[in-house]
Amino acid sequence: MSNVVVLDNGGGLIKAGQGGERDPAVVIPNCLYRPLTSKKFLHPTTTTEEDLTSAAIRRPIDRGYLINPDLQRDIWSHLFNSLLHVSPSSSSLLLTEPLFSLPSIQRSTDELIFEDFGFNSLFNCTLNYGVKRIDLGGKALTNYLKELVSYRSINVMDETFLMDDVKEKLCFVSLDVETDLQIARKQGKDNLFRCTYVLPDGVTHKKGYVEDPEAAQRHLRASPSAAMEPNKEAYQLETIAKTEERKRVDLTKNEFDLMNERFLVPEMIFQPADLGMNEAGLAECIVRAVNACHPYLRPVLYQSIILTGGSTLFPRFAERLQKDLRPLVPHEYQVKITTQNDPILDVWRGGSLLASSPNFESTCVTKAEYEEHGSARCRRRFFH
C-alpha cells in the first residue's frame, strides 16, 4: 500500500498528515499573509509568532469553494515540500471537498492533484443525497464581527487574524436572545456581557488579549433570572449615559468593549434571516436533510447528530441547537446531539481512519484512469 496523505482543505485551516495517524502533522491557515513589516506575501507556519496586526491576507477558498487554483497550488507546494516532506508521485491523496461543488471547480482540483503535483491516486467521497448546506461559515461570522466593532468602536476591517481571536475567545451562543439583549443594555456590573479586548501594541505584546478573562465568563455562571426588564426611569438614564459615552469615545485607545456582539455574531448560524440573509437556520437545515431520507432512517438520524467544525466550539452551541431542533422534530423521535473534544480535527481523523482501511486503494481513482477518461467520468465513482 502506498503512502496516503490525508488533506482536510478548509477555508480557514489546512489539516494534513499521514493516513493511519491519530492527529494531523500540520495545521496551518489556508492563506498567504503579508505583515506590515514585509513587502511580500509569506506562508504561515505552525510556529508563526509575528505581529499579524493589519496583515493583508490572500485566501484560495471562499465560502468553501476553490476560487484561486494558482494560489492553492502555491500553498500546497509549500505544504507538501517544506512541511510534510512527501513525494506526491509515490503517494495517494484523500481530500475533503465541499458539498455541491461545481464541475468546473472539480476539474480545477483534479488538475492540481494529477497534473501539477502528480499524485498516483485520489479518493474524494461526495454525498449528494440527504444533505443540505448553509452558505455561512466561520469567515462570515468573523466578517460580521468586524463590521459591528468597526461601526461601534474602532476600525478593525483589516484585522482578520485579530478578530478571529476575539470571536474564538469571547463569543457565545445565546439560549434566550431577547433576555440577553436586555442584559446587554444595562450599565456597570449589571451588564454581564461587557468585556474589554486589548489590542496588540507591537512592543510589549504582539497579540491581543482579554483584559479580564474571569469577568468575561460571568454570563456562563449567572442564573436566567438575572435579566430583569428595566424600568422607564432606568432606561432613560441609560440612554443619556450612552449618548455621553459616545461623545467621549477616544479613537486612539488601544482597546475596545464588546457587549451584545458576543452573542449576536453566533446567532447568524441559528437565525440568519433575522440579519437579512436568505438562508434557513441550522435546525431547519437538519430537519430538511433528515426528511430527504427514508422514513425508516429518520429516528436513527435524529439520534446521531454529531457536531464538528470550529464554530461548534461556541459555549452553549449544543444546548441551543437542542432547543431549536426539538419543536421541529416529531415528538415520538428522540434527539441526541453528540459533541466532540476537538471538533476541528474530527473530519481529518475520520479521513485518516478511512485511509488505513484494507480496501482503500481499490476505491481510489488512479492517475492512469484520470488521464484516460478525464475528470468528469472519474468523478462519477465518488457520488453516493
What global pTM score does this model have?
0.84
Q: What superfamily in CATH does domain 282-339 come from?
A: ATPase, nucleotide binding domain (3.30.420.40)
Q: What pLDDT is attached to residue 311? A: 92
Short-list 380, 371, 366, CA closest to 121: 366
Amino acid symbol at 352: S
- Architecture field, domain 4-131+344-382: 2-Layer Sandwich (3.30)
Q: What pLDDT is attached to residue 331? A: 93
Q: What pLDDT is attached to residue 224? A: 54
- pLDDT tens digits, residue range 218-257? 877 765 544 444 444 444 544 444 444 444 444 456 889 9
Q: What DSSP string runs through 181-198?
A: HHHHT--GGG-TT-EEEE
Give ranges for CATH 3.90.640.10 in the chain. 138-225+248-275
Task: For residues 17 and 80, give the distance between their C-alpha atoms in angstroms, rounded to a whole number.
Answer: 10
Short-list 258, 240, 236, 259, CA closest to 248: 240
Q: What pLDDT is attached to residue 63? A: 81
Q: What pLDDT is attached to residue 253? A: 63
**What are the φ and ψ backbone dihedral angles of 209, each rounded to 5 degrees?**
-155, 160
Task: For residues 141 and 147, give the distance between their C-alpha atoms in angstroms, rounded to a whole number.
Answer: 10
Q: What is the largest CA-CA distance in the chain?
A: 78
Task: For residues 149 and 63, give the distance between their C-alpha atoms in angstroms, rounded to a whole number.
Answer: 22
Answer CATH for 138-225+248-275 from 3.90.640.10, 3.40.50.720, 3.30.465.10, 3.40.50.1820 = 3.90.640.10
Task: For residues 119 and 91, give the distance between their C-alpha atoms in angstroms, rounded to a whole number.
Answer: 6
For cell 468586524, what's the residue? 146
Q: What pLDDT is attached to residue 124? A: 84
| CA-to-CA dists, residue 140 to 134, 208, 272, 335, angstroms | 11, 21, 11, 28
Q: What pLDDT is attached to residue 190? A: 81
Short-list 181, 193, 182, CA closest to 231: 182
| CA-to-CA dists, residue 320 to 23, 47, 94, 239, 348, angstroms | 29, 35, 34, 31, 26
Q: What pLDDT is attached to residue 223? A: 56
Give ranges for CATH 3.30.420.40 in the chain. 4-131+344-382, 282-339
Tens of pLDDT, residue by residue, the chain (384 residues): 569 999 999 888 999 999 999 999 999 999 999 888 888 999 987 765 666 667 888 999 988 889 999 999 999 999 999 999 999 999 999 999 888 888 899 899 999 999 999 999 999 877 777 888 888 888 889 999 999 999 988 899 988 889 999 999 999 999 999 999 998 888 877 888 999 999 888 778 778 889 888 888 887 776 554 444 444 444 454 444 444 444 444 445 688 999 999 999 999 999 998 778 888 999 999 999 999 999 999 999 999 999 999 999 999 999 999 999 999 999 999 999 999 889 999 999 999 999 999 888 888 889 999 988 888 777 776 654
Short-list 50, 10, 6, 88, CA closest to 311: 10
